[in-house]
Structure 1
């Protein structure tokens, strides 16, 4: 799969260019259009709900997807060595060469047995992330640390050391959404931060 973006950085659309017979998973609600002949399985019906699957015909094809909110579409390339921890709901596309794991063992120190607000993506290929607002890329040297509000976190490399802590230990907190929590991240690693919140603060 190849990805071409347009209308960046404010109203991005990502075109997923598929080889003959190639498939890609994407949220059905993110689809804008496809070339004629692309087979679309919406992932809905008979009580089931899963990402849609788009399959290119014999001559190949394309699928246009877009974030739900104004902002950029970031193309993230994975090399099979370094995985990425991605905010759940930010990933727009997943080719067959990549794997997404909400229950990745590396999350156990953060979330325990619960599925939190992150998922782990690994493999070789490209994925597309919905970025609310603009994107900041922060490269952390060994031992360098920052604190990020979870709603603004888009992704970080799985080499990064991470700790969760409460903003107010006596206040409400949610591992599912990150509400009421802060993330401390330490290098070496790379962190992607979005400049706008994809969801309003609790109580707003």
Structure 2
């Protein structure tokens, strides 16, 4: 299996070349084009019906499409719904990658997708109450994630705190811890335009995106037609 990303970072297209019998799982609606592959639709990840409901609450689809190459091999091209970048992360057995809702694009067949409840931290963050959790059950797997805008990888080092606006988070490894807080005092929270942030500590990696979809929606809202007008 070979992966190629074209037209990044603004309008990224992920193309997966599959050997005979190889499979790739992807979010419904992500396919742009394909050749010599068979598509099947089923529930994503583990946990049965309740697991599917949890994944929906995490911003992921209840179903997932699996593309399997025919006897001669094939390829499938995938793209995220918003203009932005596509990245990948190699998952070793026993490790997890946590993604913000809607950041999951695709994964190899041995990667499972679940969700993890954030508790009250998610409620106060203004984002989803759930993170998407990706993990490999057998062998090394690969998960492909997308962003709105470009992606930047930032290292979290011991003794240093990384502060990220909640709307700019893409993903983070499971060896960092986070809390929800604010930048500055109450006046900054109300009038500073930054809102709540996530504060990461430990030793790991965080991926951030250069644009915020919620901020764009807020900017466009005054120009949208109102009901009854």
As a proportion of its length, which structure holds more helix? 2
Aligned pair partner of 2:201 in 186, 189, 199? 186
Deviation, structure 1 residue 166: 6.6
Aligned mates of 1:109, 1:19 — CA distance in 2? 45
Aligned pair partner of 2:153 in 137, 140, 145? 137
Residues 2-151 of structure 1 mapped to structure 2, 5 A cutoff = 2-36=2-36, 38-42=37-41, 49-103=62-116, 107=118, 110=121, 116-123=129-136, 124-151=140-167
Partner of 2:52: none
Aligned mates of 1:199, 1:22 — CA distance in 2? 37
SS state of the match for residue 39, structure 1?
A: strand
Aligned mates of 2:116, 2:199 — CA distance in 1? 20
Matched pairs, number: 186
Aligned pair partner of 1:196 in 184, 189, 211? 211
Aligned mates of 2:173, 2:62 — CA distance in 1? 29
Q: Which runs of 4+ in 1 moved over 4 A?
A: 107-112, 166-169, 201-204
Deviation, structure 1 residue 12: 0.8
Please, which runs of 5 or more residues in structure 2 have no aligned partner? 44-60, 187-194, 220-229
Aligned mates of 1:110, 1:49 — CA distance in 2? 24
Aligned mates of 2:38, 2:214 — CA distance in 1? 32
Deviation, structure 1 residue 108: 5.7
Aligned mates of 1:51, 1:109 — CA distance in 2? 29
Partner of 1:157: 173
Q: What's the CA shift string for 1:87-131, capped at 9, x where partnerless?
A: 121111022211222037xx568459xx72411212222121112
Aligned mates of 1:49, 1:190 — CA distance in 2? 28
Q: Normalising by structure 1, what TM-score?
A: 0.78
SS state of the match for residue 167, structure 2?
A: helix
SS state of the match for residue 199, structure 1?
A: helix
| CA gap 1:149/1:201 in 2 versus in 1, 3 angstroms | farther
Please, which runs of 5 or more residues in structure 1 have no aligned partner? 170-179
Q: Is the 8 A contact 2:119 2:129 kept in 1?
A: no
Aligned mates of 1:49, 1:201 — CA distance in 2? 27
Q: What do you get for the CA RMSD once the two structures are aligned?
A: 2.8
